Amino acid sequence: MARALIIVDVQKDFCPGGSLATERGNEVAGKIGAFQQSHARDYDAVVATQDWHIDPGEHFSDTPDYKDSWPVHCAANTEGAAMNEHINTDTIDEFFRKGHYTAAYSGFEGTATSEDLLLAPWLKGRDVTEVDIVGIATDHCVRATTLDALKEGFTVRVLTSMCSAVSFEAGDRALEEMHEAGAILV
Ligand code: VGL
């Protein structure tokens, strides 16, 4: 039995200054960085997901609806796709990238950068049964990652003070939905 921390999409484009900034992105990134410093030893594994778009079709739009279509963000190998500078990348065991050619909100769609393995088998291969989830955006990728983690059978805690939403209202609704699906909100 092991526990993992999943850091969802804490990338520059989702933080103030980026192309699809969430208001609390930098603040949340700072909190996660400090949490890594103080709590990394509580986890058997720390992983991060990254939105990593090459040509995601209608996920990008010049006239985005901010629901199913978005301004260009997290283009592969650009500065905007890099992790926010507050994140301590040295303590991250593996990065999982998703969304190369399509929208991909869940980290469980992500493939490891150092081997051809999806997030769920990577975690299960390390006997992980419990995951703590933090990151961006509460109402999109944190939501989808949390719901998939529950479907995969993990015990899931969402550390809510370290999550940043696109819309505060939708973020609160998403947390409610995650709770109803079985996630523990901390
Ligand atoms: C995300 C909107 C569009 C996210 C990704 O990481 O939550 N949000 N693409």
Write out pLDDT tens, residues 130-160: 999 999 999 999 999 999 999 999 999 999 9
Which domains are seen in the chain, by residue range?
2-131 (3.40.50.850)
Q: What is the pLDDT of residue 121?
A: 98
Which residue's alpha carbon is at the smallest distance from atom 9 of ligand 1? 105
**Ligand 1 atom closest to 141 (CA):** 7
Ligand 1 atom closest to the CA of 139, numbered from 1 = 7
Candidates 62, 151, 67; CA nearest to 106 is 151
pTM above 0.95, yes or no: yes
Instruction: Find the mean pLDDT for residues 17-40.
Output: 97
For ligand 1, what atom is nearest to the CA of residue 144? 7
Burial class (CB in 10 A: 0-12, 13-18, 19+), 14: buried
Pairing, β 94-98 against β 111-112: antiparallel
Residue nearest (by alpha carbon) to ligand 1 atom 2: 140
Query: Measured in angstroms, how far is the CA atom of residue 185 from the centroid of ligand 1?
Result: 21
The string of pLDDT tens digits covering residues 88-103 is 999 999 999 999 999 9
Which sequence positions are flagged as catalytic? 9, 98, 141
Return the percentage of the chain with pLDDT > 70, whole number. 100
Q: Residues with Cβ within 6 A of ligand 1?
A: 9, 14, 51, 70, 136-137, 140-141
Separation of 123 CA from ligand 1 center, angstroms?
A: 22
- Closest residue by CA, ligand 1 atom 8: 140
Q: Give the distance (Å) from ligand 1 centre to CA of residue 1.
A: 31
Q: In this predicted structure, what is the pLDDT of residue 77? A: 98
Listed residue (129, 159, 130, 134) closest to 145, CA to CA: 134
Query: pLDDT tens, 55-87?
Result: 999 999 999 999 999 999 999 999 999 999 999
